[in-house]
């Protein structure tokens, strides 16, 4: 019998679960993985040059901004405000990461925060893991990184994302998810073809700006769920197991300051020490400087100090 509290936050529907499993298995993981392998093989034939690097770097930047600045800090946590035009661009670029539509992604993330490392958390490495041995930890890491995507029940969007469902623009962007996802693969292929004026350019753009980029970006993102709930420092007692991990700071654009994030989920900026690199936070501050972001939220020095003293 399903626990009543869990029934409120999840949708138990076999058809929806099947579609979700298919999307997570193939669209989010396997097809990008095969694309990455093809890219590695092609390096032995074509080498790697400016086009491969520029396609990967440019599309990585565009889409990680959409995911971390857009889906995460703007849509999920409302850490700043912006115009409808920039909101649309963030929705499109975030959708190109193949992690699901906005409403689904935000509902899952809010569910994670509400039940972090407890029953109801979709991707905790600790739930249903008896023991403390190496095998248990490995299974927990696998579940938090990949396994949860094909096992969890969909979050209740009516419970977690009423605000997004009421917004006509966001709702429309959500409906067009597969259009934006396809654009994220086709666009770099077109640009690559135009730059080299041959099929090789199309393939390079398709692989390195599209599929391989999705694979690389997503695995850094998934590492926040897995690695950053097991390995790293905990300057704040957040009543769950989030941790700061310096090694993931650059590729995650600052999200690996994960304990900082769980201590202050509303904050648009996560670098509370001078040496903590938060590229997404810096991007939001840049938007504020040029007038494209307002009401940028972040804790002050006293709030951070008091939170640390509460340990």
Assign 184 to helix, strand or coil. Answer: helix
* Average pLDDT over all residues of the chain: 93
Instruction: Using alpha carbons, select from 291, 297, 238 the residue that is nearest to residue 73.
Output: 297
DSSP-derived pairing of the beta strands 293-294 and 81-82:
antiparallel
Question: Which span out of 10-19, 115-124, 220-229 was modeled with the highest average pLDDT?
Answer: 220-229
Phi, psi of 257, deg, nearest 5: -80, 60
pLDDT, position 130: 63
**CB-based contacts of 183, cutoff 8 Å, min separation 6:** 92, 96
Burial 14-52 (b: 16+ CB within 10 A, else e): eeebeebeebbeebbbebbbebbeebeebeeeeeeeebb
- Tens of pLDDT, residue by residue over 221-250, are 999 999 999 999 999 999 999 999 999 999
pLDDT, position 151: 83
For 87, the domain range is 4-309
Domain count, the chain: 1
Measured CA to CA, the distance from residue 5 to residue 94 in angstroms comes to 30
pLDDT, position 4: 43
**What is the rounded (10 degree) CA torsion for 115, 12, 70, 38?**
110
């Amino acid at each position: 019998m399903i626990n009543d509290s869990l029934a409120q936050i999840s949708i138990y529907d076999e058809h929806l679960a099947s579609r979700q499993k298919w999307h997570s298995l193939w669209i989010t993981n396997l097809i990008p993985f095969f694309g990455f392998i093809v890219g590695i093989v092609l390096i032995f034939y074509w080498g790697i040059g400016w086009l491969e690097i520029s396609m990967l770097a440019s599309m990585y930047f565009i889409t990680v901004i959409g995911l971390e600045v857009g889906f995460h800090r703007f849509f999920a946590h409302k850490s700043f405000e912006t115009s409808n035009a920039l909101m649309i661009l963030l929705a499109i670029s975030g959708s190109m990461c193949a992690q699901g539509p906005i409403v689904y992604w935000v509902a899952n993330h809010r569910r994670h925060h509400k039940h972090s490392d407890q029953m109801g958390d979709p991707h905790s490495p600790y739930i249903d893991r008896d023991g403390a041995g190496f095998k248990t930890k490995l299974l927990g890491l696998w579940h938090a990184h990949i396994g949860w995507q094909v096992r969890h029940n969909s979050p209740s969007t009516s419970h977690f994302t009423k605000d997004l469902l009421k917004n006509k623009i966001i709702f429309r962007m959500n409906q067009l998810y597969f259009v934006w996802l396809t654009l994220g693969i086709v666009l770099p292929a077109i640009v690559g073809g135009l730059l080299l004026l041959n099929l090789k350019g199309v393939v390079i753009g398709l692989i390195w700006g599209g599929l391989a980029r999705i694979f690389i970006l997503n695995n850094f993102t998934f590492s926040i769920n897995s690695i950053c709930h097991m390995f790293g420092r905990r300057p704040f007692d957040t009543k769950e197991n989030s941790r700061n991990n310096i090694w993931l700071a650059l590729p995650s654009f600052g999200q690996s300051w994960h304990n900082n994030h769980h201590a202050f989920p509303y904050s648009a900026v996560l670098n509370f020490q001078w040496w903590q690199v938060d590229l997404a936070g810096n991007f939001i501050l840049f938007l504020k400087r040029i007038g494209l972001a307002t009401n940028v939220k972040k804790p002050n020095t006293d709030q951070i100090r008091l939170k640390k003293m509460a340990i």
